[in-house]
Structure 1
């Protein structure tokens, strides 16, 4: 499996959920059914979405805190989806190195968003991770 592919698909699913304002289990299951994923990609997506939706208020509060005055509803939806996944992985998936989550977030942003977005995402994640590391050592 390429976790890179699974991560990219997680961002796409988060984006779809955000656009449709539907973060239900049914939406996730329909997405999994309509795409041809390998077993370990499905495993990663299920593992992520099992907790990410539940933790969305905490994750979004981190995004607002580090977005330097931007309200969450003003952030481009694709960028928001990328940030949500990267922060979720950092906070709740101990088996993924923080550097990997950040690098993958930046690669996805370069593919699906703008150069300015990559800089914004890098800055926000950098500030978040600095404080996260200070608190969690």
Structure 2
């Protein structure tokens, strides 16, 4: 498994726990992402995703809600909600990662950790976010 895929999966697990249990797991999160825990490239990327989502959560959640027709964020499955958050963070703030790579990774993670319907659900929402975030003239299908 590629390091970035592993990092995304680790970030998802931490975001999911933060979503369900709140700040009570901050010590566990810090320990899981501490230098010396696993591959530095993987933990650094996972840490960036987790911290980025936490810092930009209001903006990220607003983006998701604006394109998720007939869906409230709080009514989405927690795992899907956090897959969308981590991928939306990448789409909005990581210009070095091709948007389609981010979306494909999110779909694969949804297939692995969520339901059979999650892949298409995640794909539809993220593709709309990608189109909205792309500068005019760069909106490729």
Per the TM superposition, whether the score is higher than 0.5 is yes
Q: How does 1:33-44 map to 2 (within 5 A)?
A: 36-44=37-45
State the alpha-carbon separation in 2 of the partners of residues 59 and 23 from structure 1. Answer: 22
Give the equivalent residue in structure 1 for 2:18: 17
Partner of 2:115: 114
Match of 1:70, SS state, is coil
Say if 1:17 and 1:27, in contact at 8 Å, map to a contact too.
Answer: no
The two structures, once aligned, show a CA RMSD in angstroms of: 2.2
Report what 1:129 is aligned to: 130
Q: Which has the higher contact order (CA 8 A, sep 6+)?
A: 1
Query: What TM-score does the superposition give when structure 2 sets the normalisation length?
Result: 0.86
TM-score, normalised via structure 1 length: 0.88
- Paired residue total: 136
- Deviations along 1:3-62, one digit per CA (max 9) or x if unpaired, are 1111111111111110102287534203335x9521111111222233221100000001
Structure 2 residues without counterparts, runs of 5 or longer: none
Partner of 2:75: 74
Matched, 1:92 2:96: no
8 Å Cα contact 1:23/1:53 also seen in 2: no
1:51 aligned residue: 52
**Which has the larger helix fraction?**
1
Deviates more, 1:115-124 or 1:40-49: 40-49
Task: Supply the distance in 2 between the matched residues of 1:64 and 1:7 (Cα, whole angstroms).
Answer: 22
